[in-house]
Amino acid sequence: MVAQSNLAIGSHVWVEDPEATWIDGEVEEVNNEDIKINCTSGRTVVVKASNVYPKDPEFPSCGVDDMTRLAYLHEPGVLQNLRCRYDINEIYTYTGNILIAVNPFRRLPHLYDNHMMEQYKGAAIGELSPHPFAIADAAYRLMINEGISQSILVSGESGAGKTESTKMLMRYLAYMGGKAAADGRRSVEQQVLESNPVLEAFGNAKTVRNNNSSRFGKFVEIQFNERGKISGAAIRTYLLERSRVCQVSDPERNYHCFYMLCAAPQEALLVDESFREFFHFKLL
């Protein structure tokens, strides 16, 4: 990110703020490397030109759904766009074929029902509003049309919503590649989706930011047959934050599975009371 140093009087700019992160304003005076700015908050500040970034005065109030269309693709411009979209309940935004998700910290079931999946079926990226289903559909179509394996990378900070996004991607792939279960048995896609809670019990823990934080990474491989139907699945790589098993900082907790074992009735455990006491000692 490179700041703009040749700003003229009257230019709209962004400047760093210790409380609000970024505040906008208008250049009032330029004196060599120092720039005097009248901020929209009513303050007047003098900062180095290297710490000032141009602002698009024609930026739409509702933001843009693809940030490659921004006039300035710098940190304050990106954050302004994400905030504007978040304020109108648009939690997904594209940057080309990359999807950025902002955790709404509430349930939005209408965004992920079967009707929504049907809408994104066969739609190109950018044709409809940004959504994980669009990313999953694009990967599925490329796999079918070109016969080449595809990968979807989900990454982000703790509490950003990686676990939920992964579930949505897997749900859509199961929707596209699912088939009816035979003889009353669970279908492959059902088994894939039902494996998530088990993995989360062994790999999720309470942290300072999130009560259900994934402290593990996994590479899930979903296999499809020549007709595009799910034929199998495998977890090829599983990376666990092993230090949490023996050392937990207050007020964080260990992995959920240990507390489930401690809370289970004695008849459900094939261990004696010493096992329970050991884990109570380790966990509490």
Q: Which residues are annotated as a binding site for ATP?
A: 156-163
Output the CA angle 140-183-144, nearest 5 degrees. 15
Q: What is the token pair recorded at 120?
A: 């994104």
The two three-digit tokens of residue 1, written as one number: 């990110």
Scanning the structure block, which residue is given the tokens 């008849």?
A: 267
> Which DSSP letter does residue 3 get?
-
Q: How would you label 226-253 residue by residue, b for 16+ Cβ within 10 Å and e otherwise?
A: eeeebeebeeeeeeeeeebeeebeeeeb
| Binding annotation | 156-163
Residue 30 token pair: 């330029």
Task: State how far Cα 216 lies from the chain centre.
Answer: 15
- Give the CB-side neighbour count of residue 51, counting CA atoms within 13 A: 16
Hey, what are 239's tokens? 């990376």
Contacts for 110-115: CB closer than 8 Å, 24+ residues apart: 112/168, 112/171, 114/175
Q: CA-CA distance, 41 to 197, in Å (whole number)?
A: 47
Rounded CA gap, 82 and 90, in Å? 9
